[in-house]
Chains A and B, each alone.
Chain A
Amino acid sequence: MNNKKWVAFVLGATLVCLLVLMIINIIVDPFMQYHSPLSKMKPYYKYTQEYAMYWLIGRVKNTPTEAVIVGSSLSNFISSDKLGAQSGLKVVSLSKSAGRPDIYTLFLRESLKRNQLQTIYYELNFPHLHMEYEGDIPLYLYNSNPIDDVKYVLNKNVSKRSAYILISWLGDQFQPGNDTKRDKIPAKTVFEVDRSQSTSIYSTLAVARSLYVRHGKVADKSSVIDYRTKAKNNIEQNIIPFLKENPEIKFVFIVPCISILNTYDLVCEGTVDDYLAIHKDIMLSILKYDNAEIHMFTDLEGFVDNLDNYKDRVHYAPAGGDLICNGLEAGAYKVTPENIDERLRHLKSMAESFEIPFLKEGFTGDDVLEMQQHLIALGYNCRANKVYDEQTRDVVAEFQADHRLEVTGIATAETRALLQELSEDCAGTFL
């Protein structure tokens, strides 16, 4: 082989390889940038969280629809099928875990370009309203520069998915029914995928084991100001323009049924009035537009105050999704300028009367002190310092082990009740 041939071979072969890959990626198109899944290969397409920012925009581009849901993982259980049946429209769900208004804007912009939308369901989750999306966004799929598509058609991840789809499909052509696993994971809406991925345990203990910590400190007001600036900014940039420019589209804002713990924390840190005032402000600024309606589910009595419906402070059980769908249909939770004060007052009073059923490491407060005193009364070696620290955790675990409770180091309702009972008995014997 001489040098000239070598160069010709290397450049030629590289070019051919790249071209072949490019063509395969365009034909199979695993993330639906150019067309919806080929009917024969449809079962092999997978919509995983890992690549959500790829296929969500593909879904926006190539699924004709009349209504969309944009939201975070808190919208996973708002079933697009159910909403579709209620409204008579074709609804597509675009919920992205850890989604924030800035990426909803990206989705909506593209969707408005391609569809005659009639309704937009928009998740309005106040605790995250001041944030921006933090994950990576393959921006080349979100602009209209066709040259940028080279990053899609010559992409390792895309090629990997394409190869997987092609091989699975070819495998089935030769040995049909060999892949039994496949049938168990049907390529359904995000809603289904996320349900299978997330922890399915919903209980107070699950909440207690999550990252949730109640701080006893009074929050300083600068965080409130920071929240107000950022949240308002987000609304101005990502929501108001859509409302203004699309007067013929109905915007249904959904304040999802996150647990009462969110408001309870604000009560504990003494900022509940500040935050609720901001929320009111924001809702009123949205309601100024005739094409907007807001449905608020944060004060759903019997649901948000029962932590058995949650796996952390915000993620609610599937039943919550049905409640929201039903609520939207009946319109019973609609917020109007007339009833907004009453609704927020209701929320606040629910939070104020809420009693947290568990105590865990990181908590501070009088209820912690009370429990520590009970433990001391029972002869456990514990400091009464109002702080649920490591030592307290170990003592609680010791107590649980002694009384054949599940050893978690978390003072669950059961543990606390037993403690209370025993320490009262104990006090009785001394008298």
Chain B
Amino acid sequence: MQFNSYIFMLAFLPFTLIAYYQLHKLGWNLLAKALLLVMSLVFYSYFNFRYLYIICASILLNYFFSKLLLASGRTATQKKWLLFIVISLNLLILFYFKYFNFFIENMNLAFQASFELKNIILPLGISFLTFQQIAYVVDSYRGETTDYNFLDYAVFVAFFPRLIAGPIVLHNEFMPQLNEKKNHSINYENFSYGILMFAIGLAKKIFIADVFAKAVTWGYGSVGSLTSLDAFIVMLSYTFQIYFDFSSYTDMAIGIGLMFNIKLPINFNSPYKALSIQDFWKRWHITLTRFLTKYIYIPLGGNRKGSIRTYVNIMIVFLISGFWHGANWTFVLWGFLHGLASVLTNRFTIQWNEMHKALQWFVTFLFVNIAWVFFRADSIIQGFTIIKRIAEFQTPAITQTLLECFEVPVITGLGSLLHVVNSSAWVNGLDLMLFLAFTFVIILLFKNLHEIEFKPTVVNAVFTVILLVCSILSMSSISAFIYQAF
């Protein structure tokens, strides 16, 4: 089920909320939790019924092993083996669903063989599911988890707001909130802020991300005929699309979490304000960076074993990150580029800091843009074609189709108010320019949602109503979120 669908907003969410709090009110706390679990499974299997088996199997497996790890009287070696087995099993599941075909394709390519590809459906969010549970079993191995009961664990894994695209939550952030007595009745402070977050997230998805999506889909679908300026705008569009798409999902997830009195960790902190690549990774997909740092980088030795080992460790983390995003060499290249940039800024920190702040920002932003090109491209060659187009620097010309992607009724309406409709090409250009300018303003000048101190006022109430109504009306053509696929 998508957040931006009628069935979710008008039926699923209201029902789950009301039933959850009602059960708590009646004192049936266990039943309330069970409801949350059942509804989460419904939410997940609504995409595809077969997902249900996978998630159930995965939950049972990991809970069983974490129990074994927590049981007293095991030697350190036994525990190590247990951990090794459970992580391998998790990775095997992930590998089978996500990378099997990729593996076969490359085998075929390398050895001129012709193994058959399997028709495997990628369960949404399986990467998130796996990482979160690996984190949990590692914590169990370290003895950091307490003995949670099965229901708690299952809700922790399957909690529907964050099920398919994160944020990746740690057990100690989640379980205490779930079992806290005062969280079992509606807290209007959380609830109102949750609604605002959800409304803003939804609007970001529908009115910003999906507009860029049109341009990106067109651009990557007709790489051969792009002009330099086209390619540049398409590149920029994807940079914006992926940010607004993913962060809007997180906003909605956090908003819904708040409605259930569960604060999920923040995932974005204005990433495009970053002044270096390392800064970028502290702001972009924060919970993934946290996971990779805590469970890969530091166990590898982090920066404690000399600079060469540090660089190697950084590269490993970024290559894993790249591969985690998808089974394609483009993602690996993307990870490699980010790793390289990270190593370089690490090596030349002093020189970097001497640069003017504006230049730091510009270089970082440009690099991130170029890396996103490979992230989005269907193949590495396609990525290079786009970069080459941009670098060719032809006379500025924009294809009409691309301009039309940015025809937003509000701006076009504004244009007709200004009586400039007579030269329609100009108005189209106006749409594009205003839209990009608007996006830049949001990205660079606005505060983050979590930084705003929310006070209930009539103004923001009306604002929220307008956002909700407009979004719901615009939902008839429903689009999926990018990060679900990872």
Interface residues of A (CB under 8 A from B): 1-7, 9-11, 13-14, 17-18, 21, 136, 138, 150-151, 154-157, 159
Chain B residues, Cβ within 8 Å of A136: 477
Secondary structure type dominating chain A contacts: helix
Q: How many residues of B contact A (CB 8 A)?
A: 22
Residue of A nearest to B194 (CB): A7
Q: Is the CB of A1 within 8 A of B456?
A: yes
Residues of A within 8 A of B464 (CB): 10
Closest partner residue, chain B, to A8 (CB atom): B188
- Residue pairs across A and B with CB atoms within 8 Å: the count is 63
B14 nearest CB neighbor, chain A only: A11
- Could you say which residues of chain B place their CB within 8 Å of the CB of A7? 188, 191-192, 195
Q: Are B473 and A21 in contact (CB under 8 A)?
A: yes
A154's partner among B6, B195, B458, B462 (CB-CB below 8 A) is B6
State in angstroms the CA–CA spacing of A17 and B472 once bound together.
11
Q: Which 9 pairs from chain A and chain B are nearest by CB?
A: A6-B456, A3-B188, A156-B473, A4-B188, A13-B465, A3-B192, A155-B476, A17-B469, A6-B192
Give the CA-CA distance A155 to B475 in the complex, in Å: 7
Contact, CB under 8 Å: A150 / B6: yes
Partner of B465, one of A3, A5, A14, A157: A14
Give Cα A126 to B472, complex, Å: 42
Q: Using A9-B465, A151-B475 as known contacts, list a sample of 14 further A-B pairs with CB atoms less than 8 Å apart, ordered by residue number in A.
A: A1-B456, A2-B188, A6-B188, A6-B456, A6-B457, A6-B461, A10-B461, A10-B465, A14-B465, A14-B469, A14-B472, A21-B469, A154-B6, A159-B473
Q: Does B26 contact A (CB under 8 A)?
A: no
A3 to chain B, nearest CB (A): 4
User: Is B469 within 8 A of A155, CB to CB?
Assistant: no
Chain A hits for B473, CB < 8 A = 21, 154-156, 159
Question: Do most interface residues of chain B lie in helix, strand or loop, or is the interface mixed?
Answer: helix
Question: Roughly how many angstroms separate A159 CA and B56 CA in the complex, as a whole number?
Answer: 42
**Taking CB as reference atom, which chain B residue is nearest A138?**
B476
Q: Contacting B192 at CB < 8 Å: which of A10, A13, A14, A159?
A: A10
Least distance between B165 CB and chain A CB atoms (Å): 24
Give the residue name and chain of the A residue nearest to B456 (CB).
A6
Q: List 24 A-B contacts (CB under 8 A).
A: A1-B456, A1-B457, A1-B461, A2-B188, A3-B191, A4-B188, A6-B192, A6-B456, A6-B461, A10-B464, A10-B468, A13-B461, A14-B465, A14-B472, A18-B472, A21-B469, A21-B473, A150-B10, A151-B6, A151-B475, A151-B476, A154-B475, A157-B476, A159-B473
Smallest beta-carbon distance B11→chain A, Å: 9
Bound: A150/B472 CA distance, A: 10
Nearest residue (CB) in A for B458 is A1
Q: Which of B468-485 contact A (CB under 8 A)?
A: 468-469, 472-477
Min CB distance A324 to B, Å, is: 36
Q: How far is the CA of A5 from the CA of B191 in the complex (A)?
A: 11
B456 contacts across to A, CB distance below 8 A: 1-3, 5-6
Write the nearest CB–CB distance from B423 to chain A, whole angstroms: 23
